[in-house]
Amino acid sequence: MGGATLAAAIAGTTGGAGAGTYDFSSGSGSVAIPGSATGATVEVWGAGGGGGYGARSDEDLEPVEWPGGGGGGGAYAKTTLVLTGADTGKTILYTIGAAGTGGTLFDQNGTAGGQSVAYAGTYALAEMICTGGQGGQSGYAGGNQGVGGTASGGSVTNTNGNGGAAYFLGGAAGIVGDNSLTAGAGGDGGLPATGGRNGDAGYAGRVRIVFTF
């Protein structure tokens, strides 16, 4: 392993000279291209939607159950870049989508996950947009799944998010990126329990930038 590559591996997410990996799961900001970088991989995940509220009625002789639908998963996009010395110090901007919230009232659906984006600062990056998954419906409203988000702008892949499970509670699995890393899973729907159960929140989006030297 060369000196620059070793420095990048050690630096990890700490930033600074020779840093190779930047991994964000909240907020927004910018990353400056480090000196001697020859390439980069940019991955973006949208956030997961929340699960719908679940309820059960025991008023009749035959109890009625209304399980909440699972939240949809965020989309995923990936781009690879070829960099030169002229790109040193130029910036890539990012915004991370926030997780959707679960339903907390009898007829309340989960909310959608937020959109994650990587886009041009002073470096001319084609905009990568990954929308969040939709929230699952409350059981009373039908318990339908939240659909997955949509992806655009990636040069390697644009993968739409998975849908949650209709009527069966399960939130969508997050899309798997490099090194088996995931983000943006949907929240589970609420159980059809007497008195009702909240849906689970989804999971936040992610932007990961890995420079090579």
pLDDT for 182 equals: 97
pLDDT for 201 equals: 98
User: Which two tokens mark 7?
Assistant: 């420095």
User: Which two tokens mark 37?
Assistant: 């970088």
Measure the CA dihedral 175/178/180/184, to 10°. Answer: -30
CB neighbours (10 Å) of residue 25?
18
pLDDT for 8 equals: 32
66-122: pLDDT as tens digits: 899 999 999 999 999 999 999 999 999 999 999 999 999 988 999 999 999 999 999
pLDDT for 202 equals: 98
How wide is the angle at C-alpha 71 spanned by C-alphas 60 and 102, nearest 5°? 70
pLDDT for 196 equals: 87
Beta-bridge mates of residue 6: none
DSSP type of residue 189: P
pLDDT for 13 equals: 44
Q: With a cut of 70, which residues of the chain have pLDDT below it? A: 1-19, 60-61, 166
Phi-psi region of 195 (alpha: psi -120 to 50; beta: other; left: phi over 0): left
pLDDT for 133 equals: 98
